[in-house]
Structure 1
Amino acid sequence: MISFHSLEDRIVKTVFRRYAQGCTCPKMLPRCVCGNKPRVRILTGKPVMAGGDEVATNPRARSAKVRAVEKL
């Protein structure tokens, strides 16, 4: 997913985290009763951004952030 604004990046990050989380049970329960499994695995912990040479040739790439997940 490519985002160009911080608001877009925040939405992408929260959705990816929610899909990567398995159990949604409260922490006070001794074991999982919901049975939810993670839907994706996050491949990039931090967003991948353009390097200096790429920004020099393509100024629009300056604000682009790429995040990736793998569907399970």
Structure 2
Amino acid sequence: MNQTIVQKGNFNRVLEMVESLSSSEQDVLIEIVQKRLREKRRKEIAASIAEARTEYKTGKTQRVTVDELMAELDE
């Protein structure tokens, strides 16, 4: 079976389950999901920072001014 169809079916079931919750339960669920998304994003940012630091330490990147960066982007 097509994975996308299965995922849509699962997603619809989740939505139906959420709709069956009370308003206050839905509010709590929203808070939990938002908190998890923020934490996930923090971890992604931390990993990106660690990667950038490693690249800088190994000479794969270098410091540049904003003007230098903008000039490079315009090329």
Q: Does the TM-score normalized on the shorter chain lie above 0.5?
A: no
Bigger fraction of residues in helix = 2
Higher relative contact order (CA 8 A, sep 6+): 1
In the superposition, the TM-score normalised over structure 1's length comes to 0.29
Bigger fraction of residues in strand = 1
In the superposition, the TM-score normalised over structure 2's length comes to 0.28
**Bigger Rg, which one:** 2
